[in-house]
Structure 1
Amino acid sequence: MFPPSSSRVAPADGSPITGLTRGDWERAAGRLLDAVRPHAVPGHSLIHLPGPTSGSGRLSDGLEGYARTFLLAAYRSAHAGRHLADHVLAPYAEGLEHGTDPTAPGRWPLPAELPQARVEAAAVAIGLHESRHRLWDRLPDRVRQRTVDWLGGISDTEVPPNNWLWFKAVVAAFLRSVGAPHSTGDIARAVERTEEWYAGGGWYTDGARGPGQRRNFDHYNGWAMHLFPLWYCRISGGLAEPELLPRYRERLRAFLDDAAHLVAGNGAPLFQGRSLIYRFGAAAPFFVGALFDATPLAPGLTRRAGSGMLRYFIDRGAAEEKDVLSLGWHARFPPIRQNYSGPASPYWASQAFAGLLLPPEHPVWTAPEERLPVERGDFTRSLAAPGWLVSGTASDGVIRVVNHGTDHTPPDRPARDDPFYARLAYSTHTAPDLGLRPDLSGDPQAHPRDGDARAPQGPDNRVSLVDGDGALSHRSPLRRVLLAEGVAVSAHTAHWPVLGEPDRERWPAGPAVLTASLVHGPWEVRLVRVAEGTGHPVVIGGHALAAERPPEVTATDDRVVVTRPDGLTSALVVLHPPSGDAALSVRRATAVNAFGTFSATPVYEAGGTLHATAVFLGTTRDAALPPPPEVRLTAGSATVSWPDGTTGEVALGS
């Protein structure tokens, strides 16, 4: 789809880092659109891509194929010549005629019939708005009326109290813009609930179980919670409430200041949260910020971030199947999909092409690329809303996140750990090892998010206790204790979920566990205090390192080092002898990691109540670690001495 990643244009061409220009984005959009056409039904109302059916069924998946690629077509046609725009939009105009015809073989499921259709209705509404003069205005009156009727069916439906509220509001805005009946209540509810979910600093939680219970943080901040409110304003124009556009612009501006620090030097976004099959959809907020004048980033940095993500995934096989996006992270990797994900779900990545709504002469497309924060130098950054410590290292471009605030779990009851949320650490270069999805059909209290839990899970980036059967305890819900510059602390009650036991209060529970993290460069000092007298050994796992051949392992008495051929290294070092017996090992796994077939995780296991380890993720030469930090434990506190002479301190309680 692009020239080889080693091919770079000259600095004078403006893209010395990624090599991608607006023309490359246009060609990528064209190839992605061309690739789905052979999978369309006669009439083009449904696009049935190859892959496993979602929980909503094949008909829903076909609608998803139409709606999400329609977004891409609308963005691509915005500044195209008349002939090209007509060519791109023609199958979608035909699809509207057949999809909204209740007698047609390829008719769409109604929003009242199928919840997933309520999502796709919003994509259709945005696509219609962005192609209004080239498609909507040229449709026969009967098709426009049927389209209005189909979209209007969303008004009387129930949706989850999260980003789905904005799907109804966006549809209402479009209906209002064409003089059709619409629900003002749908708009008011979305605006009102969004205020409850705003956690400050540009961050939203995607829904909440109760007031102030903000713990659902992930990429939905960018491709849903910021994007749809702003698109509501864009579609509404002068009919939007006057205070909303300035409010949402300022929040996106604050978010993008953080988001730029979550993009790796190789263009990878953070591997964390659900719906990761949307891949370069994580680039959407960067371009949306420029589109709405809601960004603190220079135009060249905006393009660098967005183009870096697009190139990262395309170079690694995201569209290797005849230019069709597969269900996966790099190439196809089915275990990453959620129950709601169908073959066309990855095309939510179309949101990244919102940059094509900017005219070719816009500075985002003409200014020279600028380096990402991680390319400018090492940094450590605290993100207050999600409870994350972020560290980036310029030498290898790796971004690491230590998580002491996000678990996607109601705080008032124990839950199964979701590997995409409840791990202690995430990064742009590693992913958690996944297990099999448990069957939760017999648990009437199970929330759909529990479908993301895996049992059994690997030990990577977990702090767990071990029961008599060797099972690792779960962490969620966690309780944030401290978040400051370079240091964070959280607490949880260890527990062991029982499949088939709906009463969570009857799950076996263990003692309270306090976990502290201090970060500096590629190191995280991970300190654990367990309540006295438990008898449960403690397991601490480092990052799971994955590759297409088994990573190399070296071990000594105080460390385990796992290395890939490219030098990326995951290691765990014992900093203080535990009071109980200790063992270091490597947990190997196959076909459970999105970054490669073979994965390996350094693991520490020891008895006692106080544990001090250092977790490393970075690039080494010949598996030689840089000097690790040192720790001094005193009554109720720990002092860490970093190799550069600086120190950090944290209270651990008594």
Structure 2
Amino acid sequence: MGEHRVKLPEEDRTLSPHTGLTRTHWVAAADGLLAAAWRYASPTSAFLDLPGRPSRSGVRSDGLEGYARTFLAAAFRTAHGEDPHNWLERYAAGLVAGTAGEWPAITDVGQPMVESASVALGLRLTKPWLWDKLSTSQQDRAETWLREALRHVPAANNWYFFPYTVASFLEAAGRGDEETGRAKQRALELLEGWYRGDGWYSDGDGRAFDHYNGWALHLYPALDAHLSSRPITTHLKEHLKSFHLLFGADGAPVYFGRSLTYRFAAASAIALGAVTGETPLSPGHSRQLISNNLRYFLDRGSLTDGLLSLGWHGPHEASLQPYSGPASPYWASKAFVCLLAGPDHPLWTEPEERDDTNQTLALPGPGLLIQKHNGVTRLHNHGSDHVRPFEGEHATEDDPLYSRFAYSTSTGPTAQKNPADNHISLVIRGDRSVRRRIHPLGARDNWAASWHRPVFDAHQPMVPGLRIESVTAVWDDQELRIHRVIGAPHGTRAELSGWATDLPAELVAVRGWSGQERRPAPQGTAFTTATNLTTLVADIEGTVILAAVAVLGGTFQEADWDARVDEVLRHTLDRL
């Protein structure tokens, strides 16, 4: 695939006519990523100190992260006992040195707790070839380090599945007790409370829906159940009915939510469904999706000198969070869960299948509307906001990864300091509003609806009585966006933006708008450099209806859109 990329075998276009990738290619990808990362191993193998900006947790934690996350890829790679490159010998040495005092301690809401889960899962998957060959004293020291994950406080979200995974390994190693049982029970109780329907969990209390559903909230408990030969109870099959649509024809996952530098980890839930049988997808379709996703990133510069960079295609600062460190992208290792399916598994032996059907799917549970058309998937957001219950609605900054009305597989949101894409804002006395807490009103057929209170700056965070009710209704690749503004004071200016992209895109006024502007977004997106946003504007007061049609990757289709506004309102906002 070229210089600085993972070297893969010749494509197999007979078994895999769409991607050319088979299990052999996935094995080669794992080996290539591991070989590049191990160039940066510490003398004792306890750390993989990858180059790049350090995280806020410090370089020792970053080095542990390099060890733990690549160990996960190595464990999936060797889980059937094949280890021609002696990866497990290196990880065994690192484990012994790390748990003898080199690794940082696990603390409350500390990064080592995150990495303990990858260490524990890696040990569980490779138990006959790594753990069982350690001395009793070495095992005891490893248990002592891991058990601190059970005794410290996780973050109030998917983090509870890090001690869960540690406890699961200890039980599988014959070291379970009341403490491990409590850790697992607590996580499962929380997960049940976070379920919102349609196979989707909120990542903690509130309404934060993102890729953590697949690569954490489903993956850890479902994989534990599979490895323990217990029934899977996490609604994984239901989740995949909608989640599999969130990939473009080119293999890109929908760009929404945090930690997107994990890249092809987005495919891990699809792979896990195939491995466990908890999936509505055929084996050939599952393989096409995960292989297309892997190729998408390998073909678009995600590797720098063989290493996964901090970014999306290549390096991209706006794709990162404060906790991102040089080895953070290696949570992408979770996609290699597909290798738990052996060479004779239908995931690898059945011919690839691709589904090019245009589909629209409403998800009332999370408040999302999926619009898949002509190879691009759009996700219309009327329910995910990442606002914690204790935070309230008054914070004055939005989160571009959760607050926008729409996301897609071919566009990314603009940066926080740039004009916001796919957003309606009100401007009052020079202050521009943001969208914080989203209140879902319903989703059905081809529409989804919500309302929110516009939030302004710290001097005037809320305007009493002011709210915006919104509905998105779609036909083919056309998006009718309707906003009913209620209680706008005199002197209010409304602004509606479209897609931030260099692809063909339009935003056409239907009702209430008086002008159109082009505004620069100089920081661009993860998909394009500096871009411009089409923005509709209007001066409003009181209660008004504002409507427009947005198109991405196509052209505006003439229709009686004004009549459709009234029809949609009768069936949505006027009833809800």
Q: Same fold (TM over 0.5)?
A: yes
Whether the aligned pair in 1 keeps the contact of 2:478 and 2:556 (CA below 8 Å) is no
Return the match for 2:339 from 345, 356, 360: 356
Return the match for 1:495 from 455, 471, 485: 455
Return the match for 2:421 from 460, 477, 483: 460
Residue in 1 aligned with 2:476? 521
Matched residues in 1 for 2:289 and 2:419: separation? 32
After superposition, the C-alpha distances for 1:123-158 in whole angstroms (9 at most, x for unaligned) are 001000111111111123332221111111222111
Whether the aligned pair in 2 keeps the contact of 1:638 and 1:650 (CA below 8 Å) is no
Matched residues in 1 for 2:456 and 2:246: separation? 32
Whether the aligned pair in 2 keeps the contact of 1:414 and 1:477 (CA below 8 Å) is no
Residue in 2 aligned with 1:100? 99
Give TM-score, length-normalised by structure 1. 0.82
Q: How much has 1:234 moved relative to structure 2?
A: 4.1
Where do residues 129-168 of structure 1 align in structure 2 (5 Å cutoff)? 129-168=124-163
Residue 332 of structure 1 aligns to a residue whose secondary structure is coil
Residue 639 of structure 1 aligns to a residue whose secondary structure is helix
Q: How much has 1:179 moved relative to structure 2?
A: 2.7
1:216 and 2:208 aligned: yes
Residue 543 of structure 1 aligns to a residue whose secondary structure is coil
Matched residues in 2 for 1:98 and 1:465: separation? 57
Q: Which amino acid in 1 is paired with 2:40?
A: H
* More moved, 173-182 vs 40-49: 173-182
Residue in 1 aligned with 2:437? 477
1:389 and 2:319 aligned: no
Matched residues in 1 for 2:190 and 2:138: separation? 34
Whether the aligned pair in 1 keeps the contact of 2:455 and 2:462 (CA below 8 Å) is yes
1:424 and 2:405 aligned: yes
Whether the aligned pair in 1 keeps the contact of 2:512 and 2:545 (CA below 8 Å) is no
Residues 410 and 638 of structure 1, relative CA distance in 2, 3 Å threshold: farther
Q: Which amino acid in 2 is paired with 1:282?
A: A
Residue 244 of structure 2 aligns to a residue whose secondary structure is helix
Q: How much has 1:585 moved relative to structure 2?
A: 1.4
Residue in 1 aligned with 2:15? 14
Residue in 2 aligned with 1:231? 223
1:371 and 2:354 aligned: yes
Residue 120 of structure 2 aligns to a residue whose secondary structure is helix
Q: How much has 1:489 moved relative to structure 2?
A: 1.9
Residue 262 of structure 1 aligns to a residue whose secondary structure is coil
Where do residues 176-575 of structure 1 align in structure 2 (5 Å cutoff)? 176-180=171-175, 182=177, 183=179, 184-208=181-205, 213=206, 215-235=207-227, 237=228, 245-248=231-234, 251-319=235-303, 321-372=304-355, 375=356, 377-394=357-374, 397-410=375-388, 412-415=392-395, 416-435=397-416, 456-469=417-430, 471-498=431-458, 507-509=461-463, 511-534=466-489, 535-545=491-501, 564=502, 568-575=503-510
Q: How much has 1:9 moved relative to structure 2?
A: 5.2
Matched residues in 2 for 1:194 and 1:114: separation? 18
Whether the aligned pair in 2 keeps the contact of 1:68 and 1:348 (CA below 8 Å) is yes
Matched residues in 2 for 1:358 and 1:31: separation? 20
Residue in 1 aligned with 2:525? 593
After superposition, the C-alpha distances for 1:243-273 in whole angstroms (9 at most, x for unaligned) are xx3423xx10111111111111000111000
Q: How much has 1:652 moved relative to structure 2?
A: 5.0
Matched residues in 2 for 1:424 and 1:81: separation? 47
* More moved, 120-129 vs 140-149: 140-149
Whether the aligned pair in 2 keeps the contact of 1:572 and 1:616 (CA below 8 Å) is yes
Residue in 2 aligned with 1:33? 34
Q: How much has 1:309 moved relative to structure 2?
A: 0.6
Whether the aligned pair in 1 keeps the contact of 2:256 and 2:402 (CA below 8 Å) is yes
Matched residues in 2 for 1:648 and 1:508: separation? 29
Q: Which amino acid in 1 is paired with 2:344?
A: E
Residue in 2 aligned with 1:453? none
Matched residues in 2 for 1:368 and 1:596: separation? 35
Residue 593 of structure 1 aligns to a residue whose secondary structure is coil
After superposition, the C-alpha distances for 1:46-96 in whole angstroms (9 at most, x for unaligned) are 1111111112111111100000000001111123635x16x1212111101
Q: Which amino acid in 2 is paired with 1:299?
A: P
Residues 422 and 352 of structure 1, relative CA distance in 2, 3 Å threshold: same
Residue in 2 aligned with 1:444? none
1:88 and 2:87 aligned: yes
Residue 531 of structure 1 aligns to a residue whose secondary structure is strand
Q: Percent identity?
A: 38
User: Gapped runs of 5+ residues in structure 2?
Assistant: none
Matched residues in 1 for 2:12 and 2:104: separation? 50
After superposition, the C-alpha distances for 1:229-249 in whole angstroms (9 at most, x for unaligned) are 1233245x27xxx6xx3423x
Residue 591 of structure 1 aligns to a residue whose secondary structure is coil
Whether the aligned pair in 2 keeps the contact of 1:9 and 1:16 (CA below 8 Å) is no
Matched residues in 1 for 2:527 and 2:574: separation? 35
Whether the aligned pair in 2 keeps the contact of 1:170 and 1:228 (CA below 8 Å) is yes
Whether the aligned pair in 1 keeps the contact of 2:55 and 2:62 (CA below 8 Å) is yes
After superposition, the C-alpha distances for 1:581-602 in whole angstroms (9 at most, x for unaligned) are x221112222341112222211
Residue 504 of structure 2 aligns to a residue whose secondary structure is strand
Query: How many matched pairs?
Result: 563
Q: Which amino acid in 2 is paired with 1:33?
A: L
Q: How much has 1:175 moved relative to structure 2?
A: 1.3
Whether the aligned pair in 2 keeps the contact of 1:46 and 1:65 (CA below 8 Å) is yes
Residue 100 of structure 1 aligns to a residue whose secondary structure is helix
Matched residues in 1 for 2:151 and 2:270: separation? 34
Q: Which amino acid in 2 is paired with 1:310?
A: L
After superposition, the C-alpha distances for 1:386-408 in whole angstroms (9 at most, x for unaligned) are 211111113xx000111111111
Residue 269 of structure 1 aligns to a residue whose secondary structure is coil
1:607 and 2:539 aligned: yes
Give TM-score, length-normalised by structure 2. 0.93
Residue 421 of structure 1 aligns to a residue whose secondary structure is coil
User: Gapped runs of 5+ residues in structure 1?
Assistant: 436-455, 546-563, 620-624, 641-646
